[in-house]
Amino acid sequence: MVKGESPFMKYLRRDRLPTIFCAGCGNGIVMNTFFNGMEMAEVDFDNLILVSGIGCSSRIPGYVACDSLHTTHGRPISFATGIKLANPEHDVAVFSGDGDAAAIGGNHLIHGARRNIDITVICINNSIYGMTGGQISPTSPKGSYGTTAPYGALERPFSLADLVTAAGGTYVARWTTAHPVQLSKAIKYGLQNKGFSFIEVISQCPTYYGRKNKLRSPIDMLNWMKETSINKRRADKMEEEELQGKIIVGEFQKKPEPEFAEKLCKLLEEQCVTGKPTAIRSAYQED
């Protein structure tokens, strides 16, 4: 390790740094917490494959020195499903934005959860389309401003952690970039869970969300997250009106269930006629 270097530098492609992210963007904090959680979960970095769609947040895997796929907008969970089924031995994680995961990719998200395929999805929810200049997303709070909502958003936002819990995710948690220690632990549990794990990270886009919503600096944004966060255990005992404008953080789901790749491999084994019942077997059986 080079003297004076960040403890996370060993996982990064240093020739690509600094990142394209704006000063104080939450994406960099999520990267750190991911490496931290990965170390705690004792994931073998050489066995890890990162997948992303399109967006600022989706640039993350490109900076990490492991195998990765930067795919099309909204589709990282589909690509990750393919990777996992082609070789279930890999640890597969997805980095996705709120637009990527919940707007264009919302369908893939709920079906990944329904199948309970063993991938870990880190959804960086900055409540806006950062990369394209600040459009409202499916998670933008009601009344918040964006380039497509100059009078404030009229629609109800999705609560992604609740959505994925309802769809069948088996480890689901929400934290913010102002809770890096708790977030690291949630990522650890997500990586350890044999099934569909979803970690929603409320994050800051000071450049678009912040500037449009009177939270001009990254410091203002993190203070806002700290002040409005409330733990799920407490929130569960409170009325809906009391929870207006609050960010509910904590674990939403932790319930092991049979995992899809395992079920599929078992089926392959039962139905196998070649004597080589692995997921990567049959196409090459002639060679």
Ligand X SMILES: Cc1ncc(C[n+]2csc(CCOP(=O)(O)OP(=O)(O)O)c2C)c(N)n1
Residues making contact with another protein (CB under 8 A):
3-9, 12, 17-19, 21-29, 31-33, 36, 177, 180-181, 184, 217-219, 222
Q: How far is the CB of 210 from Mg ion (least distance, A)?
A: 13
Which of ligand X, Mg ion, ligand SF4, none has residue 83 at its interface (CB below 5 to 8 Å by kind)?
none
Q: How far is the CB of 162 from ligand X (least distance, A)?
A: 18
Q: Taking each helix axis from N to C terminus, what angle separates 106-115 and 76-86, rounded to the nearest 10 degrees?
A: 30
The amino acid at 78:
S
Q: Taking each helix axis from N to C terminus, what angle separates 160-167 and 106-115, rounded to the nearest 10 degrees?
A: 40
Which of Mg ion, another protein, ligand SF4, none has residue 269 at its interface (CB below 5 to 8 Å by kind)?
none
The answer, yes or no, to whether the previous bond of 18 is cis (omega within 30 of 0) is yes
Question: Which of 268, 264, 227 has the alpha carbon at shortest distance from 245?
Answer: 227
Which of Mg ion, another protein, ligand X, none has residue 4 at its interface (CB below 5 to 8 Å by kind)?
another protein
Task: Output 51 or 131, the one with its CB closest to ligand SF4.
Answer: 131
Kindly write out the interface string for residues 214-253 of this chain, putting x where it contacts ligand SF4 by CB under 6 A and - elsewhere. ----------------------------------------
Task: Output 129 or 260, the one with its CB closest to ligand X.
Answer: 129
Place of tokens 């996992």: 84
Q: How far is the CB of 32 from another protein (least distance, A)?
A: 5
Is 37 a residue that touches Mg ion (CB under 5 A)?
no
* Residue list 56-75, contact with ligand SF4 (CB under 6 A): 56
Which of ligand X, ligand SF4, Mg ion, none has residue 25 at its interface (CB below 5 to 8 Å by kind)?
ligand SF4
- For 219, other C-beta atoms within 10 Å of its C-beta total 12
Which of ligand SF4, Mg ion, another protein, none has residue 207 at its interface (CB below 5 to 8 Å by kind)?
ligand SF4
Which of another protein, ligand SF4, ligand X, none has residue 219 at its interface (CB below 5 to 8 Å by kind)?
another protein
Q: Interface with ligand SF4 by CB under 6 A: which range of 21-29, 185-193, 253-261, 264-272?
A: 21-29
Beta-carbon contacts of residue 199 (< 8 Å; ≥ 6 apart): 120, 121, 122, 123, 172, 173, 174, 175, 183, 186, 187, 190
Place of tokens 């099309």: 72
Kindly write out the interface string for residues 74-103 of this chain, putting x where it contacts Mg ion by CB under 5 A and - elsewhere. -----------------------xx-----
Q: How far is the CB of 24 from ligand SF4 (least distance, A)?
A: 7
| Total of residues contacting Mg ion (CB under 5 A) | 4
Q: What is the Cα–Cα distance from 165 to 200, expressed in whole angstroms? A: 12
The amino acid at 42:
E
Which of ligand X, Mg ion, another protein, none has residue 218 at its interface (CB below 5 to 8 Å by kind)?
another protein
Binding-site ranges for ligand SF4 (CB under 6 A)? 21-22, 25, 27, 56, 126, 130-131, 205-208
